[in-house]
Each structure stands twice: as C-alpha cells, then as structure tokens.
Amino acid sequence: MTARPRQLAFDLEYREALGREDFLVSPVNAAAVATIDDWEHWPQRAHGIAGPSGSGKSHLVEVWRSQSRAMRVAGPALAESDVQAATDAGAIAVEDIDRGIGDERILFHLFNVAREGRLALLVTTRALPGEIEITLPDLRSRLRAVALTKIDPPDEGLLRSLLVKLMADRQLEVGPRVIEYVIPRMERSADAAVRFVRELDRQALAARRLVTVPLAREVLDALELKSEG
C-alpha cells in the first residue's frame, strides 16, 4: 500500500486576535486587566506587570496601546532615541526587561520623566523586579519600588479557554473531545499551550490529518508537555 505523501508545512504568519475583547479574563489575570483599564491613575505614572511567558503580557500591552497610543520597545533594544519618541507619544511600554535592558540609564530616566507627569510608563517582565540583574543602583531601587501586578499561571478554566482561542486564531477545527483529553494531561502554562497549538497545527497540515485525540497525544509526547501530575 502506497503511503500518503506528507505535505510541506510552512510556518505561515497568522493573525492573532489582540483586541480588548479578545483577552481571556480569569481570576489569575483579572488584576492585570484592571491595572490596564485604570492606567490614567497609576501612582507616579508608572506600573509593572510580571507573569510567565505566554501569560498575556504582550496582549495587554497592545490593549494599553490602543487606549494610550503608547509606543513600545523591547527592553534589550531600549536606546536614547526612545526618550524623545516616548515623550512625544506621551506613553511607552518597555517589554521583557528580564531579558535585558539596552541602556539602564535610559530606563531610569524614563521613570523620572513619568514621575514628572510627562509620560506614562509600563514595563513587563517574566521575573519579579528584585530577581532581575541590574547594574545601576538607582534603577534597581526604582524597579523594586514600582507598583507591580502579577499574572499567575492559568487555572484549568483559563487554560481551556486559551486553547480554544489559540486554535481559533489558527482556524483549526477541533472537537471538544480533544480539548478535554488535553486539559488534564498538559503542563498548566500559557507557554505550553502556545507551543502545543503551534505544533498541532504544523503536524495536522504536514500529514493532512484532522485534529483528533491520537494526534494531540502524539504532539504532547513529542513536545514533552505532559503534566507531572
């Protein structure tokens, strides 16, 4: 019997739904959502959001940008030219500062400009500010003192909703049996959900297979995403 040829699977760009109405709210992230909604009343015009990879920090930044018209910059890329651009925009999001800060003096200066009321500053990180290696003492103190909202790992309800959303973003047709099979067996993290759905999509396209429980099992095994529980 001739084996069915595998189709080349290209990692095509897809549109991720990033509007305010697309953000999945649950007890683990409700405080972060409230923080974004109340951004005009942040103490000293600055705030931090900390949460694990894939927990929705970038999505919340996009929601905030739609409200504040903020510019955004990755922490490792932060440079002197961003000061004037941020002041002109009136708001700036500096993301993933735990991955590095391009110029620590610039971030400290942005905190000062925010304190003066000339812009709003949002920083995001996977680690707590006290756990980030900072060379500049003044910036270290400022980060430890900034108002901070934490996003916890997803509970079962949020993980289920997140899987459904990620699959819908990729236009994957998945029955409820697949979701219910995966939930108790998968590592409970947003990052694991993102990796799982991305690989599930790739495998289904490559093998021209429907998304079924056997395929989901194969992907969980291949990515070693099974829950230790």
Dump pLDDT digits (tens) for 8-56.
Answer: 333 333 334 445 556 778 888 899 999 999 999 999 999 999 998 878 8
168 CB contacts (<8 Å, ≥6 apart)? 17
DSSP label at 211? Answer: B
In this structure, the number of other CB atoms found within 10 A of the CB of residue 15 comes to: 8
- Averaged pLDDT of the chain: 87
Instruction: Classify burial at 128, counting beta carbons within 10 Å of its beta carbon; exposed 0-12, middle 13-18, buried 19 or more.
Output: middle
Q: Residue 2's pLDDT band (boundaries 50, 70, 90)?
A: very low
**Longest alpha-carbon distance in the chain:** 74
Domain map (residue ranges) of the chain: 20-150, 156-223
Q: Which residue has the tokens 């996977």?
A: 126
Is the model's pTM score more than 0.85?
Answer: no
What's the pLDDT tens digit per position in 178-199? 999 999 998 888 888 889 999 9
Which residue do the tokens 């990180």 mark? Answer: 125
Question: Which one has a higher pLDDT value, 211 or 54?
Answer: 211
> What kind of architecture, by CATH, is found in domain 20-150?
3-Layer(aba) Sandwich (3.40)
- In the CATH hierarchy, which fold is given to the domain comprising 156-223? Helicase, Ruva Protein; domain 3 (1.10.8)
* Structural contact between residues 60 and 54, judged by C-beta atoms closer than 8 angstroms: no
Query: What is the rounded CA–CA span in Å between residue 227 and residue 187?
Result: 4
Q: Report how far residue 159's alpha carbon sits from residue 52's, in angstroms, rounded to the nearest whole number.
A: 14
| pLDDT for res 6 | 38
Give which of 107, 42, 109, 52 is closest to 75, Cα–Cα.
107
Q: Which amino acid is located at 173 in the chain?
A: E
